[in-house]
Structure 1
């Protein structure tokens, strides 16, 4: 996300403004909002739109080719990957309603823009290269973790029952909670003299259980670590010492303890497996990190580190930011005093040694991950190519399309006047409804309504929803506020008409449209931001389509319609 925004910001100055209008609005005021619109629109296009998936590597025999653009194939796997990115899900069931032919055309458009970006040398853009390097590092670290941590951790048959027995053991506790050490000491003295714990809890305790004198039942994993430690050596009936937890003081009585019931293990097995795996991975990760540190060439300038102040003023901070001396070095990677000062600035309460150790830990992991050259493996190589394609498509958009967008105050007002209806408030509908449990009952009520029975009276008598007591009155709603299945029914009704019976969830409903209000058109000043976004989007789409049309005119494109149709049919099943 940060990378995406930095690229957009870098192209801001390329947008050509229009002239000022008679309203006194300056060009600067028009352009002041363009960055937010660019970011908003590009995020939509970059994430929600069609992601180009050019494959420069070899195509396997199993990959079905859907189209070829200037010798570069678009495969079925490319399209499926793009759909997964667009739909943000693993399954493609929601893609069944899409036109695969149209989607393939979008992929072709993307590929043409990406190839043009390459022809223009955008692969050499420092921001693109930096983003690719960061992506390779990130994915390499993920693979290293998988190889050295995840795959080397296993859950034995004894791990889950063992964790369950220990952490799901049930403790019945009496708890007295007070606000001062003196009060807690006074209560402890009374308990030593034989006073009843429950009586004192009811009299003094501010804990929710104390007023009723009721014991609290907790498992070991659900209780405070302080309480768990305090009762660890107690036998039933014994009392803890006075405990201070935050600003409260506690005395705890162990009433009883029971083993975790075997029959309930199956209900929490999956949850326990996740917890145990996480614990084992943490232990393995700590061991592996120590191993990497032992093998690494690490140098620390302790004298310079101690000289860097975290509580420095602006002037001293500025001096440190220019300091190029090395505070630490890991396998040739240097951390300067200025860089360390910048890293440490947000962590004034944290020890400098801990901050530096975090940097060293990260560097030894990064070096090990990169040294394994995971990026040469076919699967990661393909992912890198796909990611680079996304960056190039965005770079092309920023450097070629956006600089040609021209928005002036006059163009905004012209757009508003031409599309006034687009900036109207939503149409509102006033409805009454009757909801019942069965289709037969609903049909009988509909027959009564058609015979002239008053809708409101019938709703008060028969409807089981919250609107029933109000005569079925729901009030004024926009179309988006109606449940999905109801929208088409409401849209088809005229004022005064009654709907047929329809099902909503497990109930049956009838509605009557009482009235309809057309939304008022917002004044230009009120909807200016929305007009700006719409105007920007229109210009962007027009310019992109023109560029793509020019590129298509020069390209050699072949679409394999049978393969596309076959994929479309399979996705719809």
Structure 2
């Protein structure tokens, strides 16, 4: 189980989230807290039975009371969505607990875990521990029961993973071939450096280098590092040839400056560790895919992790499909119809609603949209897109099996693998490369830059006199003596907002007067006075030639073409399965059932169609995950373990979703 300092005391939830792919962390406010606390097997009025095990009305009421809907005051349809999502998740949690009921967890195991939680959260004092538990409505015995259940689920997860067969050579080679970018070298370079202890000297050397002086010669005469090899990065090869190295050979700040270069050239002066660096990159080498034999163990590890996640997901799918769900209290009836069918599998509506709940942009948009606007946007744009995505995921196992494609993992992993497989043979022609270069030239334009200091004078006459009289030396000292106020701006680009437009125009477009190693602009009238600007290391804007950007552009085009071809391949295979999309029917039925004209009251309460019905409703497989399988769940740090429950959803708690292959 994934833990950190400040671990949420409700250990069971973390386990459930890790194993079952629950989406509770995406609920706003205290939403995770009460759902977590409620599924405890307390005595009360039966509301829903999951394979004969009861969820009480009291539990569900507590969840509803303490989990205000994010759609309160928006619309009844969105309120109904939230209710469906919430209850289906509680049901799913009950299934997870039942799946782990055969796992033995001893009292000693529980005591050790509780002791660790108390120590991690500085709650070794019994009174402090009791107070912390009471703040989330738990007794010590209830908490220990949750810990026991959580440990059981964690161990069940490991049991499932342990039964997964090792990755085969075919699976490994396919994974490697379809994911070359995962196994690439870092960008490499051939170049030289000058390292000195004085910044002024470094800037003087940079000016000389930019003026055409031999960089290797400058390094031999001035560098405190590598002078004997002309500042070469790495060992010299045969005949003194520069060898390719990775930027990691340089200090972090210097490596960042090198990697920021769009093409071979000089960095600015970079300070690091009390010394000053200038790097001349003579050649940039694009990343290359490492040979299969050198990354075989890395491939195996990544692939087997993916296979284990897929096994857990498949196991839980089986539990859901076989589940018997009985709604015995009509007041807690909820609607979770089939929203789509593909490959012989039914997709529950709660799956789509769960994805909507995970959409963080949606939560941001709620601040500026009215209820009817938000509902139209969600139902008309977001849900249709989500349904198509989920259809692909549920179709993926059938496609993999039918096509005998050796990709493995979760449904999301399979989709990624199928897209990569479908685009595996794409090529980028020279004609396509040149056309893309012409279309995207703006991307390859390097901005103008210069190192500047501006002196501001109260009158034009003072500025003019200074500009005419200065013959070099310390610009700041001389301008200050002449009555100016000097601002050293450092290196600026032509589009900066640090300087006024008139000043930028004088620097990059105006006539400059050379004074030694620097230049002066004409006098510029600005909002705060009259300015004379010292300019050095001036670099005009230019468009990088194709040869300098070829490798990166070719890689981008390949990725774009591969994704397009892969999507086309996947879409054709999904279409062959004749998926049935019932979203329109589901939304129409929901509208008829709850209405959309009048918003729900501010408390978020929602009246369902089953409230006045007698008898029990029996369904099979009604509880379905509203989120993708999670690899782990993380919680926010808190002062107390139980108290962290209230922050789990709102203070940075998030499920780490399964990454695509």
Q: Same fold (TM over 0.5)?
A: no
Greater helix content = 1
When Rg is computed on C-alpha atoms for both structures, the one with the higher figure is 1
Instruction: Give the TM-score, by structure 1 length.
Output: 0.35
Higher relative contact order (CA 8 A, sep 6+): 2
Instruction: Give the TM-score, by structure 2 length.
Output: 0.31
